[in-house]
Structure 1
Amino acid sequence: MKILLIAGGWSHERKISLSGARDIEKTLLSRGHSVTFFDLLTGFDQLLHAATEHEFAMINLHGAPGEDGLVQAMLDTANCPYQGTGPATSLLALHKAAAKQIFRYTGLPTPDWEFLPRPPDACWNPRLPYPLFAKSNTGGSSLLMGRARNRAELDARLAEIFSAGDEVLLEPELRGVEVTCGVLEENALPPLLIEPTAGDFFDYASKYAAGGARETCPAPLPEVTTAEVRRLALAAHRALGLTGYSRADFILTDNGTPTLLEVNTLPGMTATSLVPQEAAALGLDFGRMLEKLIKLGMRRKKA
């Protein structure tokens, strides 16, 4: 199959996107596909033309554009199938404050939050108690995310995120361990336990530094907890109206209760990324998983 591999872009996560795309390219080539590596940063004005010359697009973008549905909308215009969900549902999942409204509306457990689309007035005080986590509302990979124990630390976090041109989402700190759970074709995968070694929460360094975290899949959890995490991951996938695949991130509080943080529609895609590890636990290696995503994308186009 002639595949357009779309990567790079211009978000803060550009380097991560390019690095992961090389793994995808190598794997697809080894399986007999023809692959065109397309850097969205330099090729955006040629995207529609390139899409019409390929049978399928594999999107490996993180942040916007890509996870916001823009590229998906353009591919739909060019009648080019791609993996994962469509434009509108991509945007709903990327916008953390919007997604959390949907989670709360559909009865899914998610932490309280405060959304700051612009820098607040000088008289503003957060509604939530310290310590707080401040994160980019539409960013990923834990870039710009950090803990604030007091107003001075919070102001510094806010200034960093706003200066990057992002909106801010505030959440209270939840003590517990982080678990992630992928969904592939309406089936929840085995959850994966994340234990940071470079700090006490899963920040950017923990995700991408060598030895930054221990990742165990399947997660060594009680059977009832595993079942609940998988149920919630699938429920979140459906609540957002997603298709193909996704990855839900949770905090397991000290009493073992899972709380949904967010859902990613274009999760990291290398052989050692989280969702591929979960698929491998079921005997689906990286190459076969990519083939599955292509099959699901083609099916979605026909539907």
Structure 2
Amino acid sequence: MKIGVLFDGMSALGKNPDVLILESVEAVENAIEDWGHAHVRIPVNPDGRWVERVRRARFDLVFNLCEGIDGVAAFEPRVISVLELFGVPYSGSSSTATSLCLRKDVVNAVLDRAGLPVPRWTLARKGDDISSVGFPAICKPAAEDASIGIEQRSVVRSGRALVARVEAMQERWDEILIQRYVVGREVNVGIVGDTVMPVAEINFAQMPRGMWKIVSYQSKWITGSEEDLGAKPSCPADLPLTLTRELQGIALAAWRAVEGKGYGRVDFRIDSSGRPWLLEVNPNPDLSPGAGLARMAGVAGMDYNALIRRICEAALAQPVEATAQLWIRSLHLSGMERLLAAAPL
């Protein structure tokens, strides 16, 4: 079997290369070799030459590690769309599910409609009045991932601070998600195929006093920073069995609501009363050997190579969808299906 490995070439091979991307690519390639199959690297660049390489290669499977082009998350689903157009089996979720989850306001509406617990939220567009959801509140770019735009100043306690923060963020982003900040513990639930992984927790015990206990850009990407040292992942989380099962059940329901496939991660906060609140559904989480999903899989008895093989097997088991099927699913996820059915002819 010949497997193509797609990744963000602009970020990994540019003037300031992101070595973490290349480390993930190499780890996946090693796992494919261990499985006994061939692999071909395909760096994704804006010039589009990678598209013809994929078309000509006739891959049996594409392992998609591309989370954007030159770090721009908006391009992530477009890369998947190319694979769908060519009818190539690929790892991970569809372009529809990925697009949905990149829009925090839209995915919140889908999860809320599914009856799942989402903290109160609103969307602030540039030029519109800014509405409150209560305090404390956290402000995030509505269409970014990887904690981009999230910092200590993102959490606000008053209307004046909210307006100031949103206006400052709108110098870079047009749309800002304002969401009620849930004081409490933060946990993650991984999903591989149809299997829910052990629950992991972000331990904020060492977060410096006076700092908000959040997973910010600093804590996620700036190794050795105060916020990095103050936000340490651990697995399994020390939780009552009933709460663990509740979290796993909600995670699976959220995953199905967005029609996620292959592998993903669902993030939660747990408030002081022990109630879980959904923060995010991530259909393309970090797959490096030291990242959260690999850690959860390890606790479940699945080493890294076995994890990659499981993801490949899940991808190969998926039927290749026609364009018409993708359009129908997009209508269903957006809620437009019901509106069109009710519209007069």
TM-score, normalising length from structure 2? 0.78
Q: Which residue does 1:275 correspond to in 2?
A: 293
> Which consecutive segments of 4 or more residues in structure 1 shift more than 4 A?
14-18
User: Mean alpha-carbon deviation: is it higher for 130-139 or for 260-269?
Assistant: 130-139
* 1:172 shift after superposition: 1.2
8 Å CA contact retained: 1:195, 1:215: yes
Residue aligned with 2:28, SS: helix
Q: Which residue does 2:22 correspond to in 1?
A: 22
Q: Which residue does 2:339 correspond to in 1?
A: none
* 1:59 shift after superposition: 1.9
Q: 1:299 to 1:215 in 2, by over 3 A?
A: same
Within 2, Cα distance between the matches of 1:17 and 1:114? 36
* 1:212 shift after superposition: 4.3
Q: 1:9 to 1:148 in 2, by over 3 A?
A: farther
| Alignment of 1:135 onto 2:140 | yes
Larger Rg over CA atoms: 2
Q: Which residue does 1:100 correspond to in 2?
A: 108
| CA shift digits 1:110-151 (9 cap, x unpaired) | 1010012x3134xx2423123221101121121112212334
2:217 to 179, 204, 211: 204
Extract unaligned runs of 5+ from structure 1.
Answer: none
1:154 to 140, 157, 162: 162
- How many percent of aligned residue pairs carry the same amino acid? 25
| CA shift digits 1:90-124 (9 cap, x unpaired) | 212221111111111111001010012x3134xx2
Within 1, Cα distance between the matches of 2:87 and 2:283? 20
Q: Which residue does 2:41 correspond to in 1?
A: 37
Q: Which residue does 1:65 correspond to in 2?
A: 75
* 1:48 shift after superposition: 2.1
Residue aligned with 2:170, SS: helix
8 Å CA contact retained: 2:132, 2:159: no
Within 1, Cα distance between the matches of 2:247 and 2:5? 32
Alignment root-mean-square deviation, CA: 2.5
Within 2, Cα distance between the matches of 1:98 and 1:233? 17
TM-score, normalising length from structure 1? 0.88
How many residues are paired up? 295
Residue aligned with 2:161, SS: helix
Q: 1:30 to 1:221 in 2, by over 3 A?
A: same
Extract unaligned runs of 5+ from structure 2.
Answer: 68-72, 322-345
| CA shift digits 1:239-271 (9 cap, x unpaired) | 111121211000011111111111000001111
8 Å CA contact retained: 1:119, 1:158: no
8 Å CA contact retained: 1:179, 1:191: yes
